[in-house]
Amino acid sequence: MVKITASLIALAGTASAFAPASNNGPSTMALNAEMSRAVPFLVAPTKTAGYVGDVGFDPLGFSDLFDIKWLREAEIKHGRSSMLATVGFVLQQYVSLPGYEHCNDSNMAPNAVGASAMLQIVFWMGVLEFWTNKGNVTMETMFADPDRVPGNLGFDPMGLGKNKSEEEMEKIQLNEIKNGRLAMLAIGGMIHHNWITGEALF
């Protein structure tokens, strides 16, 4: 009798391994989630929606980890800096400031002007950053004002944004963000071209 009971218990235990799992609640996997337009096999990030230039590209999920306004401001500022940098990188190959040695390789230009000139740039950029954000330069304080729009520093000396409809402004902003993204890739490519080849860009 003991052997029969033990055999039945053993059989019941092995049979339970093949039984369907009980469904205690809704599945956590969102099968109807919207997929990214930029990376179709990834779920589209939700926090980038509504921003000009959003194509659902956030493969590392930064928008879930950091303040989206801070990320947006960083992208716009780096894009603007890169647009200036690409022009400067090419221009430096052909034009030199009076009193400074000419460098065909733009990567060597910082050596030609010396550390003091480079530190002045870093210092004055820091002052500009502090001034434009009214002293709020950390991620925690930069958007203490909820009405502050990322990248809008009120700088429009040529009046390009005056008397424009919302649709026209969005087109201008889209052009800026796309050109900024391209410039970030371009300046990286230019710098690495000179490093790898050891030659001037053109």
Q: What is the pLDDT of residues 30-82, one digit of tens each?
A: 556 789 999 999 999 999 999 999 999 999 999 999 999 999 999 999 999 99
For 134, the token pair is 């009214």
Helix (H, G, I), strand (E, B) or coil at 167: helix
Helix (H, G, I), strand (E, B) or coil at 173: helix
The pLDDT of residue 16: 46
Beta bridge partners of 43: 35
Neighbours of 81 (CB within 10 A): 15
CA 134 to chain CA centroid, Å, is 23
Residue 83 has pLDDT above 80, yes or no: yes
The pLDDT of residue 19: 45
- The residue among 130 and 97 whose pLDDT is bigger is 130
Looking at residues 1-18, what average pLDDT do you find? 50
In degrees, rounded to 5, the angle at the alpha carbon of residue 133 between the alpha carbons of residues 146 and 127 is: 170
Torsion angles phi and psi, residue 43, rounded to 5: -70, 140
* Band of residue 98 on the pLDDT scale cut at 50, 70, 90: confident
The CA distances from residue 25 to 18, 22, 29, 113, 150, in Å, are 20, 9, 12, 67, 41
Alpha-carbon distance of 64 to 23, in angstroms, equals 29
Tell me: the pLDDT tens digits for 150-195?
A: 999 888 889 888 999 999 999 999 999 999 999 999 999 999 999 9
DSSP 35: B
Neighbours of 183 (CB within 10 A): 20
The pLDDT of residue 137: 86
The pLDDT of residue 3: 52
The length of the chain is 202
Tell me: the pLDDT tens digits for 112-146?
A: 888 998 999 999 999 998 998 888 888 889 998 88
